[in-house]
Chain A
Amino acid sequence: MLEFRLVQGSLLKKVMEAIKDLVTDANFECSSTGFSLQAMDSSHVALVALLLRSEGFEHYRCDRNLSMGMNLNNMSKMLKCAGNDDIITIKADDGGDIVTFMFESPSQDKISDFEMKLMDISSEQLGIPESEYQSIVRMPAAEFQRICKDLSSIGDTVIISVTKEGVKFSTRGDIGSANIVCRQNTSVDKPEEATVIEMKEPVSLTFALRYMNSFTKATPLSNSVSLSMSSDLPLVVEYKIADMGYLRFYLAPKIEDEEEQS
């Protein structure tokens, strides 16, 4: 038996909007500690990792670990039927092949039940190696979204370079080039507006803007975003979900061609 109730139902809607275009199907892993998902896009270039800890739910019950395979597009269709202020409850039986989404309006005068068929998805959970990153940039999420959007009108790849002083986003396309620099800036009123750079080593990496733009669909989840980079590792774009967990995107960089295809 699994049942959890999330007062901030909009959060789940936002998560779904952020990932449904990147991955089609995913297994939701439920355990007593929380609700998580890990899925890779079909080209093995990007990976989504979601964690919602049980503490963040108003009510959370999970008797035994359960893996629920869902088609994210379908799940998103159902969650779209929930109002932004609705309380969402997710229910499933241990032996069942369906999951139930229940939406309660804040005034408690309307309750909707949606049932969705589960699917068996053969995906293996990857042990993502723990890594230390050469540079970590935290910046306002909206700023990052804007930068990715603007740059993608010029080019299709972005070079992100980090030094102690700032982070630079550069692109180049047929019509010209663009460089956007954000300097470290901690003297702001609200901490979420700060741009903070923790750098052990300067790093410069190239990424496909298509993916970056897709990641920034998670912007409504969090005021700030962090970018963790190392020269031989995937970029990690992390949106913290207040009091509950995170939504992380891992993205493989573009590398020089000489690195053979084995």
Chain B
Amino acid sequence: METSEALDSSLFEELDENGFLLSDFLCEEVAEGAGMEGNAGHESFAEAFYRSGSDWSCLVQEDLSDLKPEIASSSSKKVVQADLFKLWGLKKPVQSKNETKLAPSRKRTVDLESIDDQSGRKLLRSSDEINPNSNQQRTCPFYKKIHGTPFTVDAFRYGLIEGCAAYFLSHFHYDHYGGLSKKWSHGPIYCTHLTARLVKLSLSVNPRFICPMELDTEYIIEGVKVTMLEANHCPGAALIHFRLKDGRCYLHTGDFRACREMQSHPLLMAQMVNVLYLDTTYCNPKYRFPLKEDVVNFVVRITKSSVAKQPKTLIVVGAYSIGKEHVYLAISEALGVQIYVDSSRKRILQSYGWSGLDKRLCSDGKSTPLHVLPISSLHPERLKKYLEAYRHQYLSVLAFRPTGWTFSEKIGSQLDLIKPNSKGNITIYGVPYSEHSSFTELRDFVQFLRPEKIIPTVNVGKAAARDQMHSHFREWLKA
């Protein structure tokens, strides 16, 4: 104790010498503060400053809330570094998911000989390669190539891939279609009809490259039998099943949420899968998501009770460009209200051709209390601003952020334990509505298929994570 006191006071004196505390408007109070047993703590400083005649009161408030987490080194709230993409609501370039993530931080000595280094850059050969947006020199990682076929899956950001005769797109999320644009000319793109419509609509890809496929229908492409299966992910998402000429079967899950129904699919029941390309987004035992239906019911329940308490509630559901439709559709049905979406989202939703959804959409925010916003805008401050525009109609906001990332081990499947994040009249519920498989669903799916080999396609950037996943796989397939 003694030493720390000595330290305190020496620190105080040092500050003194530096002149920070003895600046003109402070010297009197500091003298006083020094009288108070050399307490250089934060309280006395704020107090001193306040008494010097400035209105610092709002900061004292701020300090209490913002400094405490720092001061209390106990296990209370910790601050973590945010990143720019999240703050700006921009999509992170997909390379952060795979190995190239490390590349930018790697100290590079300029090795003029290495024309094609793994970090995804290449020394220029000619001017037509000077294109800031071209990711062409990045090499396609092995887990996007279907071994033994001239196919790749979700590999559009690598430009022309040598030997690739068909580019498959599992579903229309940016981290999968990234690289596709109206300039695409590297080869045919195979995807489901719905995804094909989105690719045309949103990316203006030349239709002559787009080859839509029906679900559950076998196509022969380059001598390989290919079938798309429902992936239980976002609209249009598919599992892709390949049967090679030699009879071997490969299954690429794209992004999916495994479920019982998949296990009764004739194609998966009939023959074993040799290689499984697996969506391992949540391949960690801590992720045990409740069923999507349960989460939807919970959301509806909360909404109904909130609206009963305060009829002037604006309900906001966060969503990515596509996906999570069932959450707001369920609210819309339960309350008998329309769904407000902005015009670009409306175009996308209409392209699904879901009549149940179409007739519920509206483009006038004032005519319905149910609004769909980008998931990145679900912050108390932004929602407060958003509510401003509707302040004559609504007094509070009830928002849902439906994503697996909100899952907490403490809550697990007991949804009623979920505590919203409330600030004033803004209430945000993070609900574990996941369109990816939870750990046990992955396990059940793998144990059902019993593939010879599993290739994880997500979180493969770190060796430790890869090893962890492979040890889970071994465990599952041991019995």
Chain A residues in the interface with B (C-beta under 8 A):
23-25, 27, 29, 40-47, 66-69, 71, 74, 94-97, 117-129, 150, 157, 159, 161, 163-166, 168, 170, 172, 175-181, 183, 202, 204, 206, 208, 231-234, 250, 252-262
* Closest B residue to A260 using CB positions: B405
Chain B residues in the interface with A (C-beta under 8 A):
7-8, 11, 15, 18, 20, 23, 25-26, 40-42, 45-46, 49, 54-56, 58-59, 62-63, 66-67, 69-71, 77-90, 92-93, 95-96, 104-105, 107-108, 110, 112, 120-127, 129-138, 375, 379, 381-382, 403, 405-406, 421, 430
Flag if B132 contacts A123 (CB, 8 Å): yes
The 6 A-B pairs with the shortest beta carbon distances in the complex, nearest first, are: A262-B405, A42-B105, A97-B124, A95-B127, A165-B54, A254-B79
Expressed in whole angstroms, the minimum distance between the Cβ of A153 and any Cβ of chain B is 10
Residues on B with beta carbons closer than 8 Å to the beta carbon of A180: 20
Flag if B70 contacts A257 (CB, 8 Å): no
Q: How far is the CA of A157 from the CA of B130 in the complex (A)?
A: 40
* Closest B residue to A39 using CB positions: B104
Query: A232-B381, A234-B88, A262-B406 given as contacts; is B132 within 8 A of A124 (CB)?
Result: yes
Residues on A with beta carbons closer than 8 Å to the beta carbon of B112: 117
Selected contact of A202 from candidates B62, B88, B130, B406, CB within 8 Å: B62
With A120-B134, A122-B121, A172-B42 already in contact, 6 other A-B pairs whose C-beta atoms are closer than 8 Å = A119-B124, A164-B55, A172-B67, A206-B66, A254-B82, A262-B406
Q: How far is the CA of A67 from the CA of B132 in the complex (A)?
A: 6
Flag if A259 contacts B82 (CB, 8 Å): yes
Flag if A44 contacts B85 (CB, 8 Å): yes
Selected contact of A94 from candidates B89, B120, B127, B405, CB within 8 Å: B127
* Closest B residue to A262 using CB positions: B405
Can you name 29 A-B pairs with beta carbons within 8 Å? A23-B104, A24-B108, A40-B84, A42-B104, A42-B105, A44-B83, A97-B123, A120-B123, A121-B132, A122-B132, A122-B133, A129-B88, A150-B18, A157-B70, A163-B58, A163-B59, A165-B54, A165-B55, A172-B42, A177-B41, A202-B59, A202-B62, A204-B59, A206-B66, A206-B79, A233-B88, A260-B403, A260-B405, A262-B406
Expressed in whole angstroms, the minimum distance between the Cβ of B320 and any Cβ of chain A is 10
Selected contact of B124 from candidates A42, A45, A69, CB within 8 Å: A69
Flag if B84 contacts A168 (CB, 8 Å): no
Q: How far is the CA of A46 from the CA of B82 in the complex (A)?
A: 10
Expressed in whole angstroms, the minimum distance between the Cβ of A115 and any Cβ of chain B is 12
Q: How far is the CA of A258 from the CA of B78 in the complex (A)?
A: 8
Residues on A with beta carbons closer than 8 Å to the beta carbon of B421: 258
Selected contact of B84 from candidates A165, A234, A258, CB within 8 Å: A234
Flag if A183 contacts B83 (CB, 8 Å): no
Residues on A with beta carbons closer than 8 Å to the beta carbon of B121: 25, 69, 119-122
Flag if A178 contacts B67 (CB, 8 Å): no
Flag if B123 contacts A44 (CB, 8 Å): no
Expressed in whole angstroms, the minimum distance between the Cβ of A175 and any Cβ of chain B is 6
Q: How far is the CA of A24 from the CA of B106 in the complex (A)?
A: 9
Expressed in whole angstroms, the minimum distance between the Cβ of B446 and any Cβ of chain A is 25
Selected contact of B135 from candidates A122, A178, A183, CB within 8 Å: A122
Expressed in whole angstroms, the minimum distance between the Cβ of B84 and any Cβ of chain A is 5
Expressed in whole angstroms, the minimum distance between the Cβ of B76 and any Cβ of chain A is 10
Selected contact of A159 from candidates B70, B108, B136, CB within 8 Å: B70
Flag if B381 contacts A257 (CB, 8 Å): no
Q: How far is the CA of A66 from the CA of B132 in the complex (A)?
A: 9
Residues on A with beta carbons closer than 8 Å to the beta carbon of B122: 119-120
Residues on B with beta carbons closer than 8 Å to the beta carbon of A69: 121, 124, 130, 132
Q: How far is the CA of A184 from the CA of B406 in the complex (A)?
A: 42
Q: How far is the CA of A27 from the CA of B131 in the complex (A)?
A: 10
Expressed in whole angstroms, the minimum distance between the Cβ of B92 and any Cβ of chain A is 7
Flag if A47 contacts B62 (CB, 8 Å): no
Q: How far is the CA of A111 from the CA of B18 in the complex (A)?
A: 46
Q: How far is the CA of A66 from the CA of B129 in the complex (A)?
A: 11
Query: A69-B124, A257-B80, A258-B421 given as contacts; is B92 within 8 A of A44 (CB)?
Result: yes
Flag if B45 contacts A232 (CB, 8 Å): no
Flag if B81 contacts A231 (CB, 8 Å): no
Expressed in whole angstroms, the minimum distance between the Cβ of A212 and any Cβ of chain B is 13
Flag if A256 contacts B87 (CB, 8 Å): no
* Closest A residue to B379 using CB positions: A232
Flag if B79 contacts A257 (CB, 8 Å): yes
* Closest B residue to A255 using CB positions: B82
Q: How far is the CA of A74 from the CA of B69 in the complex (A)?
A: 42
* Closest B residue to A131 using CB positions: B88
Expressed in whole angstroms, the minimum distance between the Cβ of B409 and any Cβ of chain A is 13
Flag if A119 contacts B42 (CB, 8 Å): no
Q: How far is the CA of A177 from the CA of B86 in the complex (A)?
A: 30
Residues on A with beta carbons closer than 8 Å to the beta carbon of B405: 260-262
* Closest B residue to A169 using CB positions: B20
Expressed in whole angstroms, the minimum distance between the Cβ of A61 and any Cβ of chain B is 17
Residues on A with beta carbons closer than 8 Å to the beta carbon of B77: 256-258
Query: A120-B123, A159-B67, A163-B55 given as contacts; is B11 within 8 A of A175 (CB)?
Result: yes
Q: How far is the CA of A176 from the CA of B15 in the complex (A)?
A: 11
Flag if A122 contacts B82 (CB, 8 Å): no
Query: A124-B93, A159-B70, A257-B77 given as contacts; is B403 within 8 A of A119 (CB)?
Result: no
* Closest B residue to A177 using CB positions: B42
Residues on B with beta carbons closer than 8 Å to the beta carbon of A206: 66, 70, 79
Q: How far is the CA of A123 from the CA of B100 in the complex (A)?
A: 12
Selected contact of A95 from candidates B54, B126, B131, B375, CB within 8 Å: B126
Expressed in whole angstroms, the minimum distance between the Cβ of A230 and any Cβ of chain B is 8
Flag if B108 contacts A260 (CB, 8 Å): no
* Closest A residue to B25 using CB positions: A183
Selected contact of B105 from candidates A24, A124, A179, CB within 8 Å: A24
Flag if A172 contacts B70 (CB, 8 Å): yes
Residues on B with beta carbons closer than 8 Å to the beta carbon of A254: 79-82
Q: How far is the CA of A23 from the CA of B430 in the complex (A)?
A: 35
* Closest B residue to A201 using CB positions: B58
Residues on B with beta carbons closer than 8 Å to the beta carbon of A40: 84
Residues on B with beta carbons closer than 8 Å to the beta carbon of A117: 110, 112, 123-124
Residues on A with beta carbons closer than 8 Å to the beta carbon of B108: 24-25, 71
Selected contact of B87 from candidates A24, A233, A262, CB within 8 Å: A233
Q: How far is the CA of A157 from the CA of B66 in the complex (A)?
A: 12
Flag if A256 contacts B69 (CB, 8 Å): yes
Flag if A122 contacts B138 (CB, 8 Å): yes
Q: How far is the CA of A157 from the CA of B79 in the complex (A)?
A: 10
* Closest A residue to B103 using CB positions: A42
Flag if B87 contacts A252 (CB, 8 Å): yes
Residues on A with beta carbons closer than 8 Å to the beta carbon of B138: 122
* Closest A residue to B124 using CB positions: A97
Expressed in whole angstroms, the minimum distance between the Cβ of A95 and any Cβ of chain B is 4
Expressed in whole angstroms, the minimum distance between the Cβ of A60 and any Cβ of chain B is 20
